[in-house]
Amino acid sequence: MPAVGAGIEVAPESPTARLCRPNPQPMTPDASAASSPAYHRLAATFRRLHHLEHLQSLAYWDQAAMMPSGGAAARADALAEVAALMHGLRTDPVLKDDLARAADEPLTDHQRANLREMGREWRAANALPPALVQRSQLATSRCEHAWRQQRPANDWAGFLVNFREVVAVAREEAALLSASTGLRPYDALMDRFEPGMRCAQLDPLFADLRTWLPGLVRQVQARQQHEVVIQPVGPFPVEAQRQLCQQVMQWLGFDFNHGRLDVSTHPFAGGSPEDVRLTTRYETAEFITSLLGAIHETGHGRYEQNRPRDWLDQPVSMARSMGIHESQSLSFELQLARHPGVIAHLAPMIRQAFGDQPAFAPDNLLKLVTRVRPGLIRVDADELTYAAHVMLRYGIERRLIEREIEPEDVPTLWDEGMAELLGLDTRGNYRDGPMQDVHWPEAMFGYFPCYTLGAMYAAQWFATMRREVPGLDAGLHAGQLAPVFDWLNQHIWQPASRWPTDELARRASGEALNPAHYRAHLEARYLA
């Protein structure tokens, strides 16, 4: 594979280059080790964990993107060993005393925020015994590796063998976390990804979506059926797609000196802030999926690359939540990549990659990326129907973890949900049904709601930007992306986990999550 970034150059002091530099005024710890010894011992432990997490994340990336199939068993054992080692560090009895002592030490506001996040990690780790942590790692590694072959083969029966163990382990984890936190089992798992979010908040949010989203989908489809849309004519060579994705990523500010783009079965963002690993997937029949996938992951990558540098080895520098993380990927994929001004600047890059054809006119490209058409695949779903995919998965996995259903029941519930929410028949199609996402093989139960929360937050961020940044949309038509990146850097990237999610949102936008912005955004884009 050619080196990532080949053929792409950035002027030494271009706006993009400046945006990729570390923040010139990072958050800096200022209490001395002498006055806060317990805190500094904790910081040293979490610094070790950061380094181990760096290596762990690269092992995960390699497993998904580069590892030969014959390495799966050994890799599973190695990852289980690393998980046990890190769990041992997090549960060292010394940490309990140091957490208590540090609370009485003279700390800065940032250090107190870091101490809060240390305590959250410590409590979660201590709820789980080491043997279960290892079992979980082994079960998910086996299931995920086998899934890569089972999904193309539509082999639900084979997948179920490993999936049963994944669910069993996840239920054990949920029960122990529930006992430790007082939360319901599914809430306890979701709290790992979206701290503070509960089903009691999600259920009315999704219930409200069901009252207006299906009608909006039908209304938009009725409008769009009269539009003339020119389909791009392929094939689209993989190498040309790769170069296009890298060019667009660099235009969006991704720093290839601290990251790369590769290929995996399921696109993802991984690695560490200093070494961000993004993936997409290519099909020669079309290019929009790979391009939007790369743009989506670039949003994740920019967040990681711009976390506060002086705090990178501490929990306070972590992304606030996965809903906030997805708000960054969806700010890039939905808010920017589907903006008519941004599309106008993408069009020449697309023509350069694949040659000129009528489908690449900006107005036609805009129609292509805003086409509403219910489909089987979540990651390929349009902006309006995407939430239906999330609600389906949320409903199934919640019942699965709460022991209301068993893994064998999933296909039937999936078929019923797809018929109800999207009017699609999925019977017998496991590959494009319950086997399509990597999340369940990897036991990421509680993650799916983060996507819809992220879309809502992204709409809220851009509503705020339009109030605070005069001429934002005119600037995007002129190709001026810096005001967007500057706002995100100031309000989302640099704060990281300094504040709880609701406070972060209020400081950024003046209010906690308000789904009204999401509806207003969709109606403005599709009904205007």
For 145, phi then psi, to 5°, come to -65, -45
> Edge-to-edge strands of the sheet including 259-263?
259-263, 275-280, 269-272
Q: What is the tally of helices (H) and strands (E) in the chain? A: 21, 3
- Element of type H or E holding 248: helix 238-251
Q: Measure the CA–CA gap between 339 and 332, rounded to whole angstroms.
A: 10
Catalytic residue among 144, 297, 326, 442: 297
Of residues 191, 207, 185, the one with CA closest to residue 400? 185
Question: With left for phi above 0 and alpha for psi between -120 and 50, is residue 182 left, alpha or beta?
Answer: left
Pairing label, strands 269-272, 259-263: unpaired
Length of the chain: 528
Non-local CB neighbours of 39 within 8 Å, separated by 6+ positions: 31, 98, 102, 105, 107, 111, 115
In the residue annotation, 420 being an active-site residue is answered as no
Q: What are the structure tokens assigned to 282, written together? A: 């290519």
Q: Measure the CA–CA gap between 419 and 68, rounded to whole angstroms.
A: 38
What does each C-alpha distance from 55 to 78, 211, 255, 325 come to in angstroms?
11, 46, 20, 21
Of residues 130, 44, 119, 128, the one with CA closest to residue 83? 130
Alpha helices in 260-405 (DSSP H): 288-305, 322-330, 340-354, 362-369, 386-401
Q: Measure the CA–CA gap between 323 and 326, rounded to whole angstroms.
A: 5
Of residues 111, 123, 119, the one with CA closest to residue 36? 111
CA 419 to chain centroid: 27
- Element of type H or E holding 46: helix 37-65
Q: For residues 443 and 169, is the Cβ–Cβ distance under 8 A? A: yes
Any idea which residues carry the catalytic annotation?
Answer: 297
